[in-house]
Amino acid sequence: MGTIHPTAIVEDGAKIGENVSIGAYSYISKDVTIGDNTTIGSHTLIEGITTIGKENQIFSHAVVGSIPQDLKYSGERVELVIGDNNKIREFTLINPGTIGGGSVTKIGNGNLLMGYVHIAHDVIVGNRCILANGATLAGHVELGDGVVIGGLTPIHQFVKIGDLAMVAGASALSQDVPPYCLVEGNRAKLRGLNLTGLRRAIDKDNINELKRAYKEMFIKVELMQKRADELKDSENIYIKNMANFVLNSKRGIAIPRSKD
């Protein structure tokens, strides 16, 4: 059975599931929905049209669903949707969408957002991602599944990061990162495959295939698009995903130049 601390404020209209715990001095506004077995720490603010799934842990002083930090926002009805089994640590800030970006921010399932993480308007986060302390996602950023963002790392607006990619800590990323790759630096550039993440997720044969495809696509910058086009219909799903990501990138791929 859940508990709501007597100092917490839950506005009329808020939908609170079974076995939800809400800590001292927290505030839940009227358009919020919180799923079963979720715990809300003390001094937490959850507002706006925010839907939170089941089995989430939201720690103290998080701010979830406050209006977008976008000067164009003028009170439109926008949403934040959070899935199941996420851990949202202390002082994290998550904003809903904006009209210009589809009106919704979405966070999937099984993610860990460490302290002081910021998820801006219209961001899409997949499943099982880890954002370390102080990671900052600007508006319209998209993360695939299993992405790892190191601490104190800002991600430029509209950047896309593919499945099982990693951005090293204290980097600054302004271009897209293909699936399965590792980037590092300011500005962050490709340094190789995210081998640690890959070894946890896929078998050795597929990793070896990806190593060959990575060399074909990225060792010579001038051949990247050509090689990606040649590999876009590969029978290997991982190579196919990587090649098509490159071909569909709008911000460009974070490739090392000769001076990097």
Domains of the chain and any CATH numbers: 9-158 (2.160.10.10), 199-248 (no CATH)
pLDDT in tens, 151-201: 999 999 999 999 999 999 999 999 999 999 999 999 999 999 999 999 999
User: Which residues, at least 6 apart from 139, have a Cβ–Cβ distance to it below 8 Å?
Assistant: 68, 70, 98, 101, 120, 121, 122, 123, 157, 158
For residue 76, which amino acid is it? E
Whether residue 75 lies in the annotated active site: no
**Residue whose C-alpha is closest to residue 93's, from 120, 112, 70:** 120
**Residue whose C-alpha is closest to residue 178's, from 247, 229, 76:** 247
What per-residue confidence (pLDDT) applies to 256?
87
pLDDT, average across residues 223-245: 98
- For CA atoms 260, 154, 68, 245, give the dihedral sign: positive
Cα–chain-centroid distance for residue 107? 7
Does position 232 have pLDDT exceeding 90, yes or no?
yes
Give the whole-number percent of the chain exceeding pLDDT 90: 96
pLDDT in tens, 113-161: 999 999 999 999 999 999 999 999 999 999 999 999 999 999 999 999 9
pLDDT in tens, 67-79: 999 999 999 999 9
Does position 251 have pLDDT exceeding 90, yes or no?
yes
Which residue in 121, 144, 162, 163 is the catalytic one? 121
What per-residue confidence (pLDDT) applies to 260?
58
**Residue whose C-alpha is closest to residue 96's, from 117, 76, 71, 116:** 76
3-state secondary structure of 36: coil
What per-residue confidence (pLDDT) applies to 99?
97
Q: Token pair of 109, please?
A: 């399932």
Whether residue 43 lies in the annotated active site: no
Which residue in 35, 53, 139, 150 is the catalytic one? 139
Using an 8 Å Cβ cutoff, are 32 and 12 in contact?
no
What per-residue confidence (pLDDT) applies to 259?
59
Which residue in 31, 122, 145, 163 is the catalytic one? 122
What per-residue confidence (pLDDT) applies to 258?
61
The pTM of this model reads 0.97
Does position 233 have pLDDT exceeding 80, yes or no?
yes
Whether residue 118 lies in the annotated active site: no
pLDDT, average across residues 248-257: 94
Does position 46 have pLDDT exceeding 80, yes or no?
yes
What per-residue confidence (pLDDT) applies to 204?
98
